[in-house]
Structure 1
């Protein structure tokens, strides 16, 4: 039984090549473009005989203290590794992680789990006993289109209104795959306009460098599709999709407000569904609602494509409760004021 901390691309890539399944959220490149200048991206590799588990995290300095905390990248990450037996004893894994967190003076850990890797919940189900406090929290459902099914069967799951909208869009719109710098710039412009329209927080306005590094990475396949209005020849919507192993992920999108009635984003999701099925992908993850809310308009938009859902959990762990409470008190935050985690960073989140 041993633990290794992987921080270099070659060793990170080598580990991922050895596991059964992973998403682009687990890759080295995505961690590098997601972290701030002061964060450290690590993959905590645990080995016990023929079982190995890797937990990718961003370790962050807590300003004004000697302590740190850890968080997963935005998306669906969590641990990946070899196939664990049903009777896998998690106690050694738990102790190894806690010892590492204490050694590195990590006060708390927040991890967004991957809905397609069910063994993640087993690893963390008991990690909340003793002098530390942890929990798995269910945040809602994410929508999946099962690409293993025939195309017509997939489409039969569409809500009636969506079918009508797609039929109309197929008559009025044309598909273009982004290839040039100008194509990608059109996507960015539409994405930024979308974020302004919904009054998104500043952290969702990604930099030009972010997009350049994302699209140029070889750790995964990024495709941007554009919807062109046949009448005006104008690009009225654009979506970014990411492909890894057997998975396609709907990542970012934007639409021209003047052409929302043409349902460009829905048209592009449908086009990617057809394209990815022909290419042999098995699942198309559309994600969930805003903040995993199953009652908002974003979730209703996505669930109009499919009735197949996967549960989305996050893992919250307080390693050092005394220091966690001290930080909350220092920042004058009441413990019951929010479900945000870690609570002492609440002011930074607003």
Structure 2
């Protein structure tokens, strides 16, 4: 017997369900859905006994209409699942698709967009046949299931030399939790956002950082690089069972040429080896190729590349076209929000 429930964000069941998935990340948690958006969020839960598909969504009203659309939080989201075997998996996926379409129709949902998670391969099986899955750039992941020596052997040759040079400069990496070190990191993060001309939504409040590092839904750790006891760079890493994720980071202008972030990522790998995590996911760049400096920086640590994709689904083509009729054609989705 198959069932479908809508779980609201204030329900403790949200995280109970998420943590039963075969693989999940902090982007799927109730806490992140509370802090990443001002819109209502729901966890759509399709299940039979201990098997399930759970899809977290953000619900956005379409201004001036009775309609809404669905999107995902920023980062790597998409459906979570747990299956016993291929037969029950296929049956539950079929139930998910038919029930999801009914849910969208009954709730005046016009379109659906979700960023998918590069480390959760079953998402494409679940969503296949509903709209379009578009492959974008590659991301970089360090395999934490192999030993430390083998991990380091995968480093770009120049990276090994650069790490040794950083250590000779007496730059050290520490896991920190004092307000002094956190405030220093926040200042460096803001400085970094200024340097790259980041959009305003990247300028999180100080409270955001403190709450994030002390939330109850997942582990968050701040690693900083210091020189003569001065914080010169830092990064926040999250940990949810099998996935360790590289999140927010920054380096002070004075030390930007030294790239101490390389030492931080090397230390994060060692921290991950001591945990239950199977992957340290560094994410991607802008274009996901060696022409992209951010991707080139990350790919020096690993050639274990993963595919980042997005899901686009037009539920009601007639209304979608009406809403988009005055928009110039582009790849932006949904077009009526361009």
Same fold (TM over 0.5): yes
Q: 1:59 to 1:292 in 2, by over 3 A?
A: farther
CA contact (8 A) 1:139 1:293 kept: no
CA contact (8 A) 2:71 2:114 kept: yes
Q: Which moved more, 1:193-202 or 1:290-299?
A: 290-299
1:193 offset after TM fit, Å? 1.2
> Which residue matches 1:289?
285
C-alpha contact 1:72 1:78 (8 A) present in aligned 2: yes
Task: For 1:292 and 1:272, locate their aligned partners in 2 and report how far apart those are by CA, in whole Å.
Answer: 22
Moved more, 148-157 or 40-49: 40-49
Q: How far is the alpha carbon of 1:124 from its aligned partner?
A: 1.0
* 1:87-98 matches, cutoff 5 A: 87=87, 88-89=90-91, 90-98=93-101
Pick one of 154, 157, 160 that aligns with 2:157. 160
> What does 1:311-326 align with in structure 2 at a 5 Å threshold?
311-326=307-322
In structure 1, C-alpha distance between the alignment counterparts of 2:276 and 2:133, rounded to whole Å: 33
Q: Report the secondary structure of 2:244's partner residue.
A: strand
SS in 2 for 1:19: coil
Distance 2:7 2:24 in 1: 16
Moved more, 22-31 or 2-11: 2-11
TM-score (norm 1): 0.90
| Partner residue, 1:216 | 214
Where 2:19 maps in the other structure, the secondary structure is: helix
Aligned counterpart, 2:51:
51
1:106 to 2:109 alignment: yes
Match in the other structure for 1:24:
26
Taking the aligned partners of 2:18 and 2:242, their CA distance within structure 1 comes to 14
Measure how far apart 1:159 and its partner are.
0.6
When structure 1 is superposed on structure 2, of 85-94 and 166-175 the one drifting more is 85-94
1:18 match: secondary structure: coil
| Preserved CA contact (<8 Å) 2:241 2:276 | no
Specify the alignment match of 2:224 in structure 1.
226
Residues 289 and 296 of structure 2 are in contact (CA less than 8 Å); yes or no, is this contact kept in structure 1? no
Which of the numbers 204, 207, 211 marks the counterpart of 1:206?
204
Q: 1:50 to 1:144 in 2, by over 3 A?
A: same
- Aligned positions of 1:1-350 closer than 5 A: 1-7=2-8, 8-36=10-38, 39-48=39-48, 50-83=50-83, 85-87=85-87, 88-89=90-91, 90-127=93-130, 134-172=131-169, 173-230=171-228, 233-290=229-286, 292=288, 295-329=291-325, 332-335=326-329, 337=330, 339-346=331-338
- Secondary structure, aligned partner of 1:189: helix
Q: Is the 8 A contact 1:144 1:310 kept in 2?
A: yes
Task: State the 1:208 CA deviation.
Answer: 2.6
Further displaced range: 52-61 or 205-214: 205-214
In the TM superposition, what whole-angstrom CA distance separates every residue of 1:265-297 from its partner, at most 9, and x where no partner exists?
111000111122133432100001126566311
Q: Number of residues paired by the alignment?
A: 332
- Decide which moves more: 154-163 or 89-98: 89-98
CA contact (8 A) 1:25 1:31 kept: yes
What is the CA–CA distance in structure 1 between the aligned matches of 2:119 and 2:200, rounded to whole Å?
29
Conserved? CA contact 1:288–1:294, under 8 Å: no
SS in 1 for 2:83: coil
- C-alpha displacement of 1:34: 0.6
Report the 3-state secondary structure (helix = DSSP H, G, I; strand = E; otherwise coil) of the residue aligned with 2:255.
helix
3-state DSSP class of the match of 1:290? coil
Aligned-pair CA distance for 1:200 = 1.5
Contact 2:42–2:56 (8 Å) recurs in 1: yes
Shift of 1:16: 2.1
Q: Determine helix, strand or coil for the equivalent of 2:209.
A: helix
How far, CA to CA, are the matches of 2:195 and 2:242 in structure 1?
A: 33
